[in-house]
Amino acid sequence: MRIGELATATGVETETIRYYERLGLMPAPSRQANGYRTYGPLHQERLAFIRHCRDLDMPLADIQALFQLLSHPEANGHAVEQLIDTQLARVQERLESLQTLATRLRQLRNSCSGEHPHQECGILQELRAAAQGADCVCHGTVPS
Amino acid sequence: MRIGELATATGVETETIRYYERLGLMPAPSRQANGYRTYGPLHQERLAFIRHCRDLDMPLADIQALFQLLSHPEANGHAVEQLIDTQLARVQERLESLQTLATRLRQLRNSCSGEHPHQECGILQELRAAAQGADCVCHGTVPS
DNA sequence: TAAAAACCTTGTAGCCACTTCAAAGTAAAA
DNA sequence: TTTTACTTTGAAGTGGCTACAAGGTTTTTA
């Protein structure tokens, strides 16, 4: 299996595969006489594992850590749980801030409708007002 | 007003302010005899405006575009509305994928509880199974 | 069979929005 | 006076890729 085949098999671009190899996330594969990389099913599994973690938005460093844990089977699973918990916390934090953001943007959007010279554009008025420290439809008073 | 004062006044780090200046987002300020940057209230307002946009997760390029629009008051506001709409679409897309992600992570977390050597760790079993192409608690069958 | 397309190799630079560092000069506080 | 805090510039680092350049190899097509 050459790198391009692995790429189409997993949906990961060849550059990304080589990038993972450079980082040490993927083991260096054996080479053909012409220097081409050769991969087997184990490589494919490993790459799928990495991608699965990335789908969960796990940083590559955390995936590295996961591989470390995998290579020390005697340790108990708390470290793995913690990794997931940290990840979940990150996602939830981001989720909340994005929800606030979406609300703000919708309010902002509503303050500007129809055609008009943009001196009168509600959006710009809001942004200007907010820049001067005033409360605005999309931010409001920040509770200290 | 020196750069540090502007920084504390706006909550933007000095490096970031200089970075914005390099990008042309902030106009080059006047200088004291010793070369120190000097800012006035207009700079502060502009910086607050930029930060307000960044709070809305707007890319710096879009903020640049917004300034362009501001400097052509004869144009109508549709461009501004479109900018906001694009931004809102981005945020909502990200929001949906993060919500799916949070669910997946919670399910994954639940599949691993209590102390155990991590060969038996549900999380790792899931990830390994998923890497082999199986459905898993956190992803399930992908509908084509 | 020859030419063209598609693949592979390496290394390097670019993306975004910063952040950090280095090395030096200036100003304010103890 | 010494120390601390501030300022200057420029360069490099962050993460997770992505793109490109300049070559070599293999496969397909005419």
pLDDT value of position B108: 79
> In chain B, pLDDT over 70 holds for what percent of residues?
74
3-state secondary structure of B31: strand
Query: What phi, psi does A83 have (nearest 5°)?
Result: -60, -45
Cα R_g (chain A), whole angstroms: 24
pLDDT value of position B109: 82
pLDDT-derived band at B144, boundaries 50, 70, 90: very low
The residue among B74 and B103 whose pLDDT is bigger is B103
Mean pLDDT across B60-73 = 86
Question: Which chain B residues touch A77 with a CB distance below 8 Å?
Answer: 112, 115-118, 120-121, 123-124
Measured between CA atoms, the residue of chain A closest to residue B48 is A131
Query: Which of B95, B18, B127 has the alpha carbon at shortest distance from A45?
Result: B127
Mean pLDDT across A32-57 = 92
Distance CA A115, CA A99 (A): 28
pLDDT value of position B77: 60
Nucleotide D20 C1' to residue B7 CA (A): 39
Residue A40 CB burial class (10 angstroms; 0-12, 13-18, ≥19): exposed
Mean pLDDT across A3-10 = 96
pLDDT value of position A114: 57
Query: Which of B139, B119, B97 has the alpha carbon at shortest distance from A49?
Result: B139
Mean pLDDT across A49-69 = 88
Q: Quick check: B53 and B63 in contact, CB under 8 A?
A: yes
pLDDT digits 0-9 by tens, A65-121: 888 887 776 665 577 788 888 888 888 888 888 888 888 888 878 876 655 655 566
Residue A72 CB burial class (10 angstroms; 0-12, 13-18, ≥19): exposed
In terms of DSSP H, where are the helices of chain B? 3-10, 14-23, 41-55, 60-70, 78-110, 122-131
Q: Looking at the complex, does the CB of residue B129 fall below 8 Å from at least one CB of chain A?
A: no
pLDDT value of position A126: 66
Question: Which chain B residues touch A80 with a CB distance below 8 Å?
Answer: 112, 118, 121, 123-124
pLDDT value of position A144: 30
> In chain B, pLDDT over 90 holds for what percent of residues?
39
Q: Quick check: B49 and A131 in contact, CB under 8 A?
A: yes
Distances in Å between the Cα of A78 and the Cα atoms of A57, A68, A89, B128, B138 are: 20, 14, 16, 18, 19
Distances in Å between the Cα of B40 and the Cα atoms of A92, B2, B131 are: 39, 9, 58
Cα R_g (chain B), whole angstroms: 24
- Tokens at residue A99, please? 């929800």
Question: Which chain B residues touch A10 with a CB distance below 8 Å?
Answer: none
Specify the DSSP class assigned to residue B40: -
The DSSP annotation for chain A comes to --HHHHHHHHT--HHHHHHHHHHTSSPPPEE-TTS-EE--HHHHHHHHHHHHHHHTT--HHHHHHHHHHHT-TTSBTHHHHHHHHHHHHHHHHHHHHHHHHHHHHHHHHHT--S--BTTS-HHHHHHHHHHTT---TTT-PPP-
Cα of B16 to nearest chain A Cα, Å: 17
pLDDT at B116 over 80: no
Q: Using a 7 Å cut-off to protein CB atoms, list the covered nucleotides of chain C.
A: 7-11, 16-21, 26-27
